[in-house]
Amino acid sequence: MEITVYRDQSLLRQERTLPAAVYNLARTLQRRSPSGVAFVPIRSMQVLAILDRDEFVFLDSQHKTWAMLAWQRFRPDERASLDDPVGYELACYEEDALEAMKRLPREFHLALQALASKDRIDGPARVLKFEARRPG
C-alpha cells in the first residue's frame, strides 16, 4: 500500500505524554511490519493512523491525504522504565485536531489491541512525506 500524505504548517504544537502501554504496543506492531510502517484503522473515529519510526500520523476520512495531526519527536529514552509514559510533541494541522485528541488516545489504543490480535498486520508499504499547501 502506498499513501501520499500532505500537511500544511502546523497550527499548534504541544508537549504531551503517551501511556507506556499504548507506545509499546504501537512500536511492537510497527516493527512487526515487513516495511517498518503500520496502518491502524481507527474505525470508531473514521481515522487512519500511519506509524513509522519517526512519527504517528493521523488522517481523517474527510481529508484522506491530508494529515489532521501527528505525534512526533518521541522521547522513550527519557523514561526510567518501560512502564513510564513517553513524551512526544503533538502537531495539529487541522482546526478540529484538538477536539479529536479528546478521544484519539483511547480509541487508538483499542484499535492497536484489535490489530495486535491479528496474525498479519499489512503488506509492503511506503509512506512518502511531502509538505504542501492546500489548493485554493
Cell 522513550, residue? 76
Which residue shows C-alpha cell 508499504?
A: 125
Q: Is residue 136 part of a domain?
A: no
Does 92 have pLDDT greater than 90? yes
Q: Residue 85: pLDDT band by 50, 70, 90 thresholds? A: very high
List, in order, residues 6 or more apart from 11 with CB less than 8 Å away. 92, 93, 94, 95, 97
53 in any annotated domain: yes
Domain membership of residue 125 (yes or no) is yes
Whether residue 122 has pLDDT greater than 60: no
Mean pLDDT, rounded, for 62-74: 92
Q: How confident is the model at residue 118 (pLDDT cuts 50, 70, 90)?
A: confident
Per the CB < 8 A criterion, the answer to whether 59 and 108 are in contact is no
Listing DSSP states for 13-50 in one string gives: EEEEEE-HHHHHHHHHHHHHSTTS-EEEEEGGGTEEEE
Domain with 49 in it = 2-131
pLDDT of residue 35: 86
Residue 102 lies in a domain: yes
Q: Is residue 71 a part of any domain in this protein?
A: yes
Number of domains in the chain: 1
pLDDT in tens, 24-61: 999 999 998 888 899 999 999 999 999 999 999 999 98
Please tell me the distance from the alpha carbon of residue 30 to that of residue 32, in angstroms, as a whole number.
5
Residue 2 is predicted with a pLDDT of 75
In a domain, 108, yes or no: yes
Domain-embedded: residue 26: yes
